[in-house]
Amino acid sequence: MAVIEVTELVKEYVIAKKERGLRGALKGLFFPDKRNVRGVDGISFSIERGEIVGYIGPNGAGKSTTIKMLTGILHPTSGTIRVCGVSPQADRKAVVRKLGVVFGQRTQLYWDLRLGESFELLKRIYQVDDKTYEDNMNVLTEVLRLDQFIDTPVRQLSLGQRMRGDLAAAMLHSPDVLFLDEPTIGLDAEAKHAIRSFIQEMNRTRGITVILTTHDLDDVEELCSRLIIVNHGKVVEDGPIGELIGKLTPKRLLVVDLQHPCADVGHKSAQIIKQDGLRIWYQFEKARVTAAELIADLSQKLPIQDLSVQEPDIEDAIREVYATT
């Protein structure tokens, strides 16, 4: 059964049209001229239990708006949402019990309390029973190494420590689904690694479903098996990462170093896109010729000193989508 089911989701924001100058500002104050903007424009997807899905897109694509509707913070203009079979709009309390949410730019911890006291308070708010709380705290303390700063007031935590605290807070009530909005933003390499390892561990050991919005492509590469790419409020791609890279960037590069200059360096199935001294860049399409065939053909007629094949990566694929949608 799908853990998250979203069908034809639409969110329209009403914004005031502004006219220039003082006269325009006054007119707008008394006779506001409004127009609708679609933050989300007919999005559908379905996510199975245990998936880690990257929900990505450029600024203003509609990611936060979608997440806010999934968590019940915003009401859709139209369309349906089911989280673990429940509509977040119809029964927000039931959905909140199933969800853990972390916004990288905000915290749900209490600035004036020590980290451990923050957890105690959240335990009461979420009505987590003693046994679940204790079991979860034991695991979370170990995996996130919270004991180093559990007695530190939240306001004094480093960003990386605070993020570990926020992840723990989101997991206290054993949610089935974790929404993570930019969970590694502003962190150093070690803290990023700690956060990513934790997400993988929770997914592996608890089968937790994760939806991750991020602009950090290393997050995507290390964590996600599937990507949903949105732009202008619509889903523009949805699929396993490997397939998306193959589909969006079918072109690969073969870079060849020759031992000495040659006259005829061309190949019928590859295009030379650059030549610099003895180095030649061949671009070719996987569907037309394999790297092995191309290398075999070229090495028959050319004195090859060295070569390398450059595969497109997720960054190339995403650049391609953003540029064409």
Ligand X SMILES: Nc1ncnc2c1ncn2[C@@H]1O[C@H](COP(=O)(O)OP(=O)(O)OP(=O)(O)O)[C@@H](O)[C@H]1O
Interatomic CA distance for residues 163 and 169, integer angstroms: 10
Choose the stretch contacting ligand X; rule: CB under 6 A; options: 61-69, 84-92, 155-163, 271-279.
61-69
Per rule CB under 6 A, is residue 62 in the interface with ligand X?
yes
Whole-number minimum distance, CB 236 to ligand X, in Å?
A: 12
Report the C-alpha gap between 6 and 79 in whole angstroms: 8
Shortest spacing between CB 109 and ligand X, in angstroms: 22
Note whether 35 binds ligand X by CB under 6 A: no
Provide the residue type at 209 as one letter. Answer: T
Question: Toward ligand X, which CB reaches closer, 231 or 249?
Answer: 231
Size of the chain, expressed as the number of residues it contains: 325
Q: Does 13 bind ligand X (CB under 6 A)?
A: yes
57 contacts ligand X (rule: CB under 6 A) = yes
Measured distance CA(282)–CA(255) in Å, rounded: 6
Phi, psi angles (nearest 5°) of residue 215: -105, 0
What tokens appear for 226 in the block? 């599937």
Which span sits near ligand X by CB under 6 A: 62-70, 95-103, 153-161, 298-306?
62-70
Binding segment toward ligand X, per CB under 6 A, in 57-65, 113-121, 234-242, 267-275: 57-65
Determine if 32 is a binding residue for ligand X (CB under 6 A).
no
Build a one-symbol-per-residue string for 241-280: x at contacts with ligand X by CB under 6 A, - elsewhere: ----------------------------------------
61 is an interface residue for ligand X by CB under 6 A: yes
Distance between CA atoms of residues 89 and 224, nearest Å: 28
Query: Which residue in the shown chain puts its C-beta closest to ligand X?
Result: 39
The token pair at 31 is 């006779």
Residues 269, 294: contact at Cβ < 8 Å? Answer: yes
Q: Applying CB under 6 A, which of residues 41, 43, 65, 167 lies at the interface with ligand X?
A: 65
Tell me the CA distances in angstroms from 60 to 40, 281, 296, one per residue in order.
10, 37, 47
Q: Are 44 and 8 in contact (CB under 8 A)?
A: yes
Taking CB under 6 A as the rule, does residue 111 contact ligand X? no
Instruction: Rule CB under 6 A: choose which of 24, 32, 60, 186 binds ligand X.
Output: 60
Residues binding ligand X: what is the number (CB under 6 A)?
12
Q: Which of 1, 30, 59, 277 binds ligand X (CB under 6 A)?
A: 59
For residue 179, the surrounding DSSP H or E stretch is strand 177-181
Strand pairing of 270-276 and 279-285? antiparallel
In the complex with ligand X, which residue's Cβ is closer, 68 or 226?
Answer: 68
* Shortest separation between residue 101's beta carbon and ligand X, angstroms: 14
3-state secondary structure of 266: coil
Sign of CA dihedral 164, 167, 171, 172: positive
Residues forming the site for ligand X (CB under 6 A): 13, 15, 37, 39, 57, 59-65
